[in-house]
Structure 1
Amino acid sequence: MQLTGGAHYPVVVVGGGQAGLATSWHLTRRGVDHLVLEADRVGSEWRNRRWDSFCLVTPNWQCRLPGFPYDGPAADGFMLRDEIVAYLEDYSRSYDVPLVEGVRATGLDDGFRIATTQGAVTADQVVLATGPYQVPRIPRMAERLPTTVTQLHSSQYKNPDHMPAGEVVVIGTGQSGCQIAEDLHLAGRTVHLVTGSAPRVARFYRGRDVVAWLDLMGYYAKGIDEFDDVDAVRFRVNHYVTGRDGGRDIDLRKFALEGMKLYGRLVDADQTSLRFAQDLSKNLDHADAVSEGIKDSIDAFVAANGIDAPDEDRYRPVWEPSSEPEALEIKGISTVIWSTGFRRDDSWIRLPVFDGRGYPTHHRGVTSVPGLYFIGLPWQYTWGSGRFGGVADDARYLVERITEQRAGMHWIAGLPRKTVA
């Protein structure tokens, strides 16, 4: 499909990832004429910003895009990167999505005029499905490192052979940092992992994937408005775990036993060394405590509901740091991988919908600007918002609001002019 500059659409969806496609599916079902703009190709975020061995961390059965649930042979498995891309491509072909690829939205102004790389269009309503992972976040500290060190953001990492020979420092222990460190470790590279406050979760417990337990317990259906600490929930770091090789825990203590070097939080750097806070033990203990706390909640659920589930011994730390490393000499380090997340770039959106931090203000994706919506934000309403497991619910909710506003617009348009206030 080609973009027609100057055209007007009832609804324009900006972003053709899972959130944008799920919205389009519901709009199509309701017969709402619309356009989906995708800056690259369907699945580009998964294709371009994930490493070669990347896989889902939630089981395939959680892939529940509207009208297109996972129906492959490995419901309890974890799709690899290329399988995820294929899933999205197949989804985009499963219905008549009005998709324009290779066209980037560059401006959104009053009157819902959307400037793009191929001309401008206008809309009655706009859904922004551009996702949370837009611009790699790398601290200014990176500028202090010598030019002899190759520096990558986690979104640029592909595989162990894609980097220079030598020792590697991975900074950050969110999902990406831990999984990249494991990928390098399994390939026999010497890895220095700089930890943070990210929690972890067990892969399996008492006979089931922990995701299955949490789903059964209703955790994934719990709305953000049911929490007292909304901001703490919305901006918290994801628990680290992996779906690799059928799924397993990521235990940094086990990595340390096998030769990986662990450090506390990075606090300073210069041409010769990296320096760390003395919080390695604290970070490891915190990650374990969160994991064990989730097990506590599962135990309580099993007992309260009389569920027949096998008993399981609790985790015991397999390694404790004998000291807290204060510094690491850069000599011998060939590569630093910054697994430090992303920031949003909404500078092209020139409408008053952002708070002092630059975060979109909304209720379940509905903003204070009538007709403007967001979808795909982390914890937009539930844990699954923006993910394969929960974005369908958010898309359905927004399309209900879209059709309600359209009905109101049509009602007002049909009134005699003199009666309209």
Structure 2
Amino acid sequence: MTEHRDVVVVGGGQAGLSISWHLTQRGIDHVVLERDTVAHEWRDSRWNNFTLVTPNWQCVLPGYAYSGADPHGFMKRDEVYEFVRSYADSFGAPVRERVAVTSVQHAARGGYDVETTDGRIHTDQVVIAVGGYHIPTIPRFAEKLPESIVQLHSSEYRGSAELPDGEVMVVGTGQSGAQIAEDLHLDGRKVHLVAGKAPRVARFYRGRDCVAWLHDMGHYDVPIQDQPGGLGKRENTNHYVTGRDGGRDIDLRQFALEGMSLYGRMIDVSDTTVQFTPTLEASLDAADAVAESIKDSIDAYIARSGIDAPEEPRYVPVWRPEQEVTELDLTQCNITSVVWSVGFRTDYRWLRVGVFDGEGHPCHNRGVTAAQGLFFLGLPWQHTWGSGRFAAVARDAEFLAEQITLRVRESAAA
């Protein structure tokens, strides 16, 4: 027999659990399906020394918040995992672990048929809470590298000790790439870092964490349609910074002074020879410009609000490339491994409902799609910049819970 549930939530991470909390509070029948175990991505897809880049006080989920002794610190990987696991336990979330969803499609009798590895479930409403990072991206030209060079994606990286002896190339300077380069650098490995277009942000400025300033300024609350560039913001790379050792800037120029080799964008590979475009200096300047523009906004907010905050000198670049390298032989440099940190792509092949654009991205407004009863939660920039953070996931979940509750009441009254 086909099981029936009023709501099926796909995904048992913080997003799926957040909507589950709201549905539980409202007494709405539902089940959360998780293909692995609750919060497993925090444990299984982060490196050993991973830390959050957002302070612990921002770790707020519906009915639950960080309560440790270091609110201004940054939880490590295993602490984040336990935080989310404990959240599920705190309200007895109805999660079925190790149940994979193989398809979701419109049902002939209305609603949706959800096929799983544990049977079929018919439901009136579905919440897709699997995030937006599904399949690791590695450029096709990586296939040209010889088998003697170990290649792995940033999601597979765990630590320096698991890589072969020799020098390491890290490709990409988003949050993961910059932090992995730092991790290897601190462990004494010679690192070759291929820089992209990612912006950066200072960790602290004028006596506070920049996150705290931006939080007070309301930056995490501005709807995406009111942002410069509108929906195009969803394609933006996050600013690189670190929470390691209490938090600090990631300054690639300082790394270069300390012996890290930096390069512009990688464009091709031929056996052991790698080619780059001379974009390094422009990328470093652009990243610094973003960091300084954020400081400009903070300065203006402090002046406007009459806040007594200490003055702080502005950043002065400590290094510039004398001549950009456009070609490098990995063998001659003893580079024995490459860590690709160039992102992910989505994979919704199992979701057989027409709610996607031409590039395979969900079409939605705050998670609400044109297909009645089908919602998304936990997407980057789902509604605001804060949507990618614990606290705003909670807000996004509450909004969707209200939509779901309205539909349940309308159905009951029909």
CA–CA distance in 2 between the matches of 1:277 and 1:284?
14
1:3-402 correspondence to structure 2 within 5 Å: 6-111=2-107, 112-331=112-331, 332-402=334-404
Letter in 2 for 1:379: W
CA–CA distance in 2 between the matches of 1:45 and 1:96?
20
1:418 aligns with: none
Letter in 1 for 2:344: F
Q: What whole-Å deviation, never above 9, does each CA across 1:317-353 have from its counterpart, x for those lacking one? A: 0111100101110202100000011111000000000
Q: Is the 8 A contact 1:206 1:312 kept in 2?
A: yes
Q: What whole-Å deviation, never above 9, does each CA across 1:345-364 have from its counterpart, x for those lacking one? A: 00000000001111000110
Question: TM-score, structure 2 length as denominator?
Answer: 0.97
Letter in 1 for 2:256: A
CA–CA distance in 2 between the matches of 1:164 and 1:231?
42
Per-residue deviation, 1:389:
2.1
Letter in 2 for 1:176: S
Q: How many residue pairs end up in the alignment?
A: 408
CA–CA distance in 1 between the matches of 2:231 and 2:116?
33
SS at 2:73 equivalent: coil
Q: Is the 8 A contact 2:224 2:231 kept in 1?
A: no
Per-residue deviation, 1:386:
4.0
SS at 1:267 equivalent: strand
Letter in 1 for 2:236: R
CA–CA distance in 2 between the matches of 1:294 and 1:243?
18
Report which stretch shifted further, 224-233 or 398-407: 224-233
SS at 1:385 equivalent: helix
Letter in 2 for 1:39: R
Report which stretch shifted further, 401-410 or 366-375: 401-410
CA–CA distance in 2 between the matches of 1:43 and 1:35?
16
Report which stretch shifted further, 151-160 or 221-230: 221-230
SS at 1:61 equivalent: helix
CA–CA distance in 2 between the matches of 1:231 and 1:266?
28
Per-residue deviation, 1:230:
1.6
Q: Is the 8 A contact 1:277 1:326 kept in 2?
A: yes
Letter in 2 for 1:235: E
Q: Which runs of 5+ in 1 are unaligned?
A: 413-421
Letter in 2 for 1:214: L
| Percentage identity across paired residues of the two chains | 57
1:417 aligns with: none
Per-residue deviation, 1:121:
0.9
Per-residue deviation, 1:228:
4.2
Per-residue deviation, 1:272:
2.3
Q: Is the 8 A contact 1:195 1:262 kept in 2?
A: yes
SS at 2:386 equivalent: coil
SS at 1:256 equivalent: helix
Per-residue deviation, 1:382:
1.1
CA–CA distance in 2 between the matches of 1:157 and 1:235?
24
1:403 aligns with: 405
SS at 2:274 equivalent: strand
Per-residue deviation, 1:410:
1.8
CA–CA distance in 2 between the matches of 1:20 and 1:171?
32
1:419 aligns with: none
Q: Is the 8 A contact 1:366 1:372 kept in 2?
A: yes
Question: TM-score, structure 1 length as denominator?
Answer: 0.96
Per-residue deviation, 1:387:
2.2
SS at 2:126 equivalent: strand
What's the RMSD between the two structures over aligned residues? 0.8
Per-residue deviation, 1:96:
2.1
Q: Which runs of 5+ in 2 are unaligned?
A: none
CA–CA distance in 1 between the matches of 2:228 and 2:160?
43
CA–CA distance in 1 between the matches of 2:367 and 2:141?
35
SS at 1:242 equivalent: coil
In the TM superposition, structure 1's runs of 4+ consecutive aligned residues that sit over 6 Å from their partners are none
Q: Is the 8 A contact 2:225 2:231 kept in 1?
A: no
Q: Is the 8 A contact 1:375 1:386 kept in 2?
A: no
Report which stretch shifted further, 217-226 or 242-251: 217-226
Report which stretch shifted further, 185-194 or 403-412: 403-412
CA–CA distance in 1 between the matches of 2:4 and 2:327?
59
CA–CA distance in 1 between the matches of 2:168 and 2:272?
15
